[in-house]
């Protein structure tokens, strides 16, 4: 009997030793990434603009990067109006020969036409150098419409696993908060964002990518998180900052750059969900796919029915104020505390629709 227990004990010892070795290796990798992050952030302010960060490539000197950045800026953003004005965020020029009228010129590949209310039609040329993922295998992944990503959602979503096909599963090892949730929930969140992507969102991505504004409150990229949110998540989860450092995203404006990189979307969304789970746990709310789906965008308002019951409804825009006039106790339900909130939520319905699509894809 003792002879039978020896091999089992030996196997357990081997498994334990292997686990310890793996943990030591992971700790070593994390410490290395932290050192890299600390060293790299010492150079904060080394670059004059985000354009230089984008232009800097392996083997390229800072002077070459600055020259490349200047070239991108000169070629980048331009809105051509009917009166001949070409307006950019840096200067305005009046030259009929340079102004392109959308009414007389056919749209080129990679061009979005924007028509602000009350103004003449305008055009915006999106260069692949700024947002490389707009072009995949020679195909343009957006169209000239108010919803530029319509019809391209799945192709764009697939870019998130272009480098690592298991990226959406691998993130579970970074955040124990994700245990019990599904990777499809996070992918559904991203696809819902792509379905709701407007022309103005794409323009924001483009302006940030070319260094023309560095707003930290503008939702960017597939995750539609803000640069300020990325910094908050990095502070909350050091492993996120270490991951970005290992991927080469460090220093000034890295928080915007990661938002514009589809391959960073899985870990970004995973960190966001992990933060939501921490909040739900703190509030004593049960954590599951539905309560997290609602937490992505709470949209249900509640008020008393005049008795002991509660009326739930999704309100938008002026509806919120009009209903508040009639119901003094009206409030937004920030958490899905019961099934009635979940069943009324349009946000949850949108996520469910995306889950159904992904299941049938």
Assess whether pLDDT exceeds 80 at residue 168.
yes
The structure's pTM equals: 0.66
Taking residues 220-249, report their average pLDDT. Answer: 94
Where do the domains of the chain lie? 18-45+131-285, 48-75, 77-126, 289-360
Band (pLDDT 50/70/90 cuts) for residue 343 is very high
Cα within 13 Å of Cα(39), Cβ side: 9
- Nearest to 115, CA basis, from 90, 79, 65: 79
Assess whether pLDDT exceeds 80 at residue 173.
yes
Task: Find the helix or strand (DSSP H, E) in which 233 lies.
Answer: helix 227-236
Q: 132-148 pLDDT, tens per residue?
A: 777 777 778 888 789 99
Assess whether pLDDT exceeds 70 at residue 5.
no
Taking residues 338-342, report their average pLDDT. Answer: 92
Assess whether pLDDT exceeds 70 at residue 109.
no
Assess whether pLDDT exceeds 90 at residue 116.
no
Across all residues in the chain, what is the average pLDDT? 75
Rounded to an integer, what distance in angstroms lies between the CA atom of residue 279 and that of residue 275? 6
């Amino acid at each position: 009997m003792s002879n039978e227990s020896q091999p089992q004990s030996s196997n357990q010892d081997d498994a334990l030793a292997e686990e310890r070795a793996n943990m030591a290796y992971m700790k070593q990798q994390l410490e290395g990434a932290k050192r890299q992050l600390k060293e790299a952030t010492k150079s904060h302010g080394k670059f004059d603009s985000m354009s230089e960060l984008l232009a800097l490539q392996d083997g390229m000197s800072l002077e070459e990067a600055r020259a490349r950045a200047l070239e991108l800026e000169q070629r980048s953003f331009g809105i051509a109006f009917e009166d001949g004005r070409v307006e950019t965020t840096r200067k305005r020029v009046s030259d009929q020969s340079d102004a392109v009228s959308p009414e007389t010129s056919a749209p080129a590949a990679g061009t979005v036409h924007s028509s602000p209310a009350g103004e003449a039609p305008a055009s915006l040329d999106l260069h692949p150098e700024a947002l490389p993922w707009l072009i995949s295998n020679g195909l343009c992944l957006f169209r000239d419409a108010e919803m530029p990503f319509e019809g391209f959602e799945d192709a764009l979503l697939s870019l998130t696993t272009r480098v690592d096909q298991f990226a959406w599963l691998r993130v579970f090892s970074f955040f124990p908060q994700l245990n019990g949730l599904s990777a499809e929930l996070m992918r559904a969140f991203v696809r819902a964002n792509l379905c709701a992507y407007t022309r103005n969102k794409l323009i924001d991505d483009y302006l940030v990518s070319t260094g023309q504004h560095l707003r930290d409150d503008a939702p960017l990229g597939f995750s539609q998180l803000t640069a300020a949110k990325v910094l908050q998540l990095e502070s909350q989860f050091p492993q996120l900052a270490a991951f970005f450092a290992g991927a080469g995203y460090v220093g000034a404006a890295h928080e915007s750059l990661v938002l514009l990189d589809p391959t960073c979307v899985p870990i970004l969304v995973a960190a966001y969900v992990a933060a939501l789970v921490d909040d739900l746990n703190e509030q004593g709310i049960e954590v599951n796919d539905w309560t997290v789906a609602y937490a992505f965008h709470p949209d249900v308002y509640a008020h008393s029915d005049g008795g002991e019951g509660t009326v739930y409804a999704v309100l938008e825009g002026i509806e919120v104020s009009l209903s508040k006039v009639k119901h003094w106790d009206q409030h937004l339900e920030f958490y899905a505390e019961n099934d009635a909130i979940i069943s009324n939520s349009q946000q949850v319905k949108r996520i469910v629709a995306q889950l159904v699509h992904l299941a049938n894809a």
